[in-house]
Amino acid sequence: MGKLLKSFFLILLCSMSGFLIGQDSVQIPEGNVVLGNYPEGYGNISPEVVFVPTFFLDKHEVTNLEFSEFVADGGYQNQQFWILRGMTDSLAGWKWITNSQILCPRYWSLTSKPNWGKDSYSPADNSPVVGVSWFEACAYAKWKGKRLPTNAEWEKAARGTSNQFGEYNGTGVGLIYPWGNDFFIGQTPPEYHLCNWRLRFYAYKFPDTNTRADQYSYTRETWKTDGFKEQASPVGSFSPQGDSPYGIADMSGNVCEWTSSNYPRFEDDLKIIKGGDWYRSTLEHLKTGYIYGVGPYYRGRSTGFRCASDISHK
């Protein structure tokens, strides 16, 4: 009985301290996943079935506070974190930040406390870090003992493999959005509480009111429908209702996320980012099967990342 009591208090202490095993990352079991546009309307590339080995994916996007530890630890001055095997030039990122004298994310100031205090796009400690290039995301992940997820890993974690809506070559097609196939579950405009998004530049006809949301017929205020105006939201703000089938938060909206994968036919010149963002996403961009191609030097106001690994991290 004494051992059981000690075990209970140990688990309670770990939980309160934020060190409970599995709390930071979620295990995604091995198996096939359907990638891309199948059934029609799931994405923007041709469908394929890919086998994905077991891996772990962080439940949340990397936050300002977490990234600040990398900066404080001299991450931008330590070449070992910037060596990227498999690229044509494994030191491309290191050469770039050195020549450009980059010492922190684009919207930070090292003379401000906190460093992200003047970042109006993602201002909170627990908001996702933005304004980081693919190279910076890779360096942080390496410093953390992790890596960026592949496109296939990211998509499997977001859409799952449920066969509720059909199969493709024997594999369940999963979900259009992380929470399901209907963006408007139990909702009516102008309130949406499943993800942080803003329909800024693109026309869309709301199915329940038959009205258009675009820059010609709606004011800008109408697009700010999720409670977070003109900025990223703290990670997990739409959890659990917006979580993926594996319980991972913010895989649609908030910030679009870097993956380790090259955009088809562009090798190292373009990297795949996923998930859509708060700034200018349509419902298409928010779909699990949709991909973008962005240059690895890009440091956008609504681009962040989360980490993956082959082993569990506390």
Q: What is the pLDDT of residues 294-313, one digit of tens each?
A: 999 999 999 999 999 997 55
pLDDT exceeds cutoff 50 at 290: yes
Q: Which pLDDT score is estimated for 207? A: 44
Domain ranges within the chain, ordered by starting residue: 23-314
Q: What is the mean pLDDT of residues 9-37?
A: 64
Return the percentage of the chain with pLDDT > 90, whole number.
Answer: 64
Name the band, by pLDDT with cuts 50, 70 and 90, for residue 285. Answer: confident
Task: Provide the token pair at 214.
Answer: 């675009």
Name the band, by pLDDT with cuts 50, 70 and 90, for residue 168. Answer: very high
Alpha-carbon gap, residue 80 to 120, rounded angstroms: 31
Q: Which pLDDT score is estimated for 15? A: 33
Report DSSP state, residue 129: P
Which residue has tokens 């030039």?
89
Q: What is the mean pLDDT of residues 145-169?
A: 97
CATH fold of 23-314: paralog of FGE (formylglycine-generating enzyme) (3.90.1580)
Name the band, by pLDDT with cuts 50, 70 and 90, for residue 216. Answer: very low
Q: Which pLDDT score is estimated for 3? A: 37
Strands 167-168 and 271-274: unpaired
82-86, 226-230, 233-237, 266-270: least confident range: 226-230
Identify the sign of the CA torsion 249, 255, 259, 262. positive
Strands (E), the chain: 25-28, 31-35, 48-52, 55-58, 167-168, 171-172, 256-262, 271-274, 292-294, 303-304, 308-309
Q: Which pLDDT score is estimated for 118? A: 85
